């Protein structure tokens, strides 16, 4: 796929890239277990790409003792029943609630063509039935941005590389890392998201 | 001619002086005396951001709060169930949600008596909450004001990029200038804000490429399946708009709207289905849009125009 006015990308080119990525994922999704879905979404006259994955819990959740206990038990390869006495002081509501698949938080990456910058921009949002991840910079850097990119992104320019309104990452390797692993030889598609130089 | 410059200066001052009386009451769910707290009354600038009120609101209402230790960062405002976004200036929020009739150009006819309409809609009655912030619709502010600053400067950067094809001007502002710009916004003082904003509007060696315009269509239903419309849902539309047409004629509000929303604005000269509202006033379609951005932009450099249906 050619991009006629690099680094800008037209809406037609952007849509084509989105559909090609959607198709590529459909063919290769069985090779991985990180991403849940890749879909082209239409909203009025605009199309964009939505990638979803389960949000990994990178540190123990002190507010959710059941989940902590389960992850520890898996690491030790032993079956341990959580000790109810350990949680007597906890909120009774939390005790009655047991984690299940439906309680998983889902991370949504929306890749949208910016009408201002004419390049793809990346939005993050978290859909969590238990509201454990407030929409703050801390959540972004702790749970979403890979550790080896945090310093680079936070040090970019006056505003940093990410804001809570528009996630116009100046470094998109966090996404490309996974994209490349998934798509292997599709470096021409990674170009679509390497347009940070113009901003 | 000094006349044109004087007119521009007068218009800019009128825009800066625009303000809305607010009556803010504490939500009964957060109030120890149910709904018997004192209202907070203030005349607040249209161009400014409601987030700047939070410290004063929290201090004023703390004696009424069920939980007086609640952090000010838990504060959020709503109008008739619609959470008010922190990064939208007050004037935009009012044009979007108040239901107030906009002012018509002299000689135009509004649908209702203007005085009666003002009585109904002013002061604008808002509700402040300190619990159960709708996290899917609002971002949480921080105590240092960095979140709002971040959102503001990002909007300034985007406007700069649209105008010049590069965000170099704002990205290369010195720390002092960047701080001064934000101080000018926080304190709402044009003497502090304008010198830096002028640097952004007049970069050396750069021609104006596009104009920073966003159009807001309230109550638009989403075309995404299975989505539940949220209160105050709206559609934000934006397309790069050049200062002049290909015929070298200046771009007007009418030509721009005809390009961006041809279904709602089939005529470039006469509004048939909808009107454009900025700072509470109907925009004549003949208004040259480059001049409008210079005198009527909000503090982030954008024309935030609300589209209202006629009839």
Scanning every residue of chain A, which has its alpha carbon at the shortest distance from the alpha carbon of B235? A44
Please calculate the CA angle B60-B61-B67 and round it to the nearest 5 degrees.
140
Q: What is the pLDDT of residue B280?
A: 95
Report yes or no: B147 and B141 within 8 Å, Cβ to Cβ.
Answer: yes
Which of B142, B166, B238 is the closest to A115 by Cβ? B238
**Dihedral sign, CA of A156, A158, A160, A165?**
negative
Q: What is the pLDDT of residue A124?
A: 77
pTM, to two decimals: 0.79
| A135 vs B59 pLDDT, higher one | B59
> CA–CA distance from B86 to each of A138, A172, B258 (Å)?
19, 27, 30
Contact A158 B87 (CB under 8 A): no
Domains of chain B: 4-129 (3.10.20.620), 146-201 (1.10.246.190), 213-309 (3.10.20.90)
**How far away is chain B from the Cα of A115, in angstroms, using its nearest Cα?**
6
Q: What is the pLDDT of residue A140?
A: 73
Give B-chain residues touching A41 at CB under 8 angstroms: 224
Scanning every residue of chain A, which has its alpha carbon at the shortest distance from the alpha carbon of B74? A134
d(CA B31, CA B227): 33
Check CB contact of B38 with chain A, cutoff 8 Å: no
Check CB contact of B143 with chain A, cutoff 8 Å: no
Q: What is the pLDDT of residue A77?
A: 37
Q: What is the pLDDT of residue A181?
A: 37
Give B-chain residues touching A163 at CB under 8 angstroms: 150-151, 154
A16-64 tens-digit pLDDT: 999 999 999 999 888 888 899 999 999 888 899 999 998 876 543 333 3
**How far away is chain B from the Cα of A4, in angstroms, using its nearest Cα?**
17
Give B-chain residues touching A164 at CB under 8 angstroms: 139, 147, 150-151
To test the contact with chain A by mutation, choose from B139, B211, B226, B238 the residue with the greatest count of A C-beta atoms within 10 A, namely B139
Q: What is the pLDDT of residue B224?
A: 45
Contact A166 B154 (CB under 8 A): yes
Instruction: Using the predicted structure, report yes or no on whether residue A160 has a pLDDT greater than 60.
Output: no
Q: How far is CA B222 from the centre of its chain?
A: 22
Mean pLDDT, each 10-residue run in order, chain B (311 residues): 83 96 96 88 98 96 93 95 96 95 74 57 94 85 89 93 90 93 97 95 88 88 51 86 94 96 96 96 96 95 96 74
Bond before B96 cis per omega within 30 degrees: no
**How far away is chain A from the Cα of B201, in angstroms, using its nearest Cα?**
17
Pairing label, strands B124-129, B76-79: antiparallel
Q: Give CA torsion, residues A95, A96, A97, A98, to 10 deg.
A: 80
Counting one residue from chain A and one from chain B, the pairs whose CB atoms sit within 8 A come to 65
Give B-chain residues touching A115 at CB under 8 angstroms: 238-240
């Amino acid at each position: 796929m050619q991009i006629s006015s690099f680094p800008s990308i037209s809406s037609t080119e952007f849509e084509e890239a989105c559909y090609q990525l959607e198709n590529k994922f459909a063919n290769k999704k069985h090779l991985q277990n990180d991403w849940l879905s890749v879909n082209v979404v239409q909203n009025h006259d605009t199309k964009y790409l939505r990638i979803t994955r389960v949000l990994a819990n990178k540190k123990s959740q002190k507010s959710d003792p059941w989940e902590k206990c389960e992850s520890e038990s898996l690491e030790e390869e032993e079956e341990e029943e959580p000790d109810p006495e350990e949680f007597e002081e906890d909120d009774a509501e939390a005790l009655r609630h047991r984690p299940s698949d439906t309680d998983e938080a889902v991370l949504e990456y929306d890749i949208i063509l910016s009408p201002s910058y004419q390049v793809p921009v990346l939005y993050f949002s978290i859909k969590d039935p238990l509201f454990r991840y407030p929409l703050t910079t801390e959540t972004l850097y702790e749970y979403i941005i890979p550790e080896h990119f945090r310093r680079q992104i936070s040090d970019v320019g006056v505003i940093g590389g990410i804001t809570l309104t528009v996630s116009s990452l100046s470094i998109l390797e966090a996404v490309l890392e996974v994209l490349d692993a998934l798509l292997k030889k599709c470096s021409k598609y990674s170009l679509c998201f390497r347009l940070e130089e113009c901003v | 001619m000094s006349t044109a410059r004087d007119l521009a200066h007068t218009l800019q001052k009128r825009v800066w002086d625009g303000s809305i009386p607010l009556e803010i009451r504490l939500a009964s769910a957060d109030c120890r005396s149910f709904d018997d707290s004192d209202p907070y009354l203030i005349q607040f600038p249209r161009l400014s951001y409601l987030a700047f009120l939070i410290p004063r609101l929290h201090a004023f209402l703390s004696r009424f709060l069920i939980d007086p230790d609640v952090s000010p960062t838990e504060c959020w405002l709503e109008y008739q169930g619609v959470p008010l976004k922190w990064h939208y200036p007050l004037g935009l929020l009012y044009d979007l949600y108040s239901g107030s009739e906009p002012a018509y150009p002299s000689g135009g006819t509004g649908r209702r008596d203007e005085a009666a309409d003002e009585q109904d809609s002013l002061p604008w009655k808002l509700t402040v909450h300190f619990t159960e912030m709708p996290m899917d619709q609002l971002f949480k502010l921080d105590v240092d004001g960095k979140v709002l600053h971040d959102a503001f400067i990002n909007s300034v950067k985007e406007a700069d990029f649209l105008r010049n094809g590069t965000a170099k001007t704002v990205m290369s502002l010195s720390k002092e200038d960047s701080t001064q710009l934000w101080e000018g916004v926080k304190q709402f003082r044009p003497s502090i804000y304008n010198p830096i904003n002028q640097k952004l509007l007049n970069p050396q060696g750069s021609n104006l490429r596009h104009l920073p315009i966003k159009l807001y269509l309230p109550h638009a239903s989403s075309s995404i399946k299975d989505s539940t419309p949220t209160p105050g849902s709206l559609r934000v539309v934006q397309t790069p708009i050049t200062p002049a047409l290909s015929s070298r004629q200046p771009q007007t509000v009418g030509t721009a709207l005809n390009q961006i929303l041809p279904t709602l604005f089939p005529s470039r000269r006469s509004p048939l289905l909808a009107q454009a509202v900025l700072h509470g006033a109907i925009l004549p379609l003949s208004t040259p849009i480059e001049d409008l951005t210079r005198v009527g932009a909000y503090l982030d450099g954008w024309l935030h125009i609300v589209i209202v249906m006629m009839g």
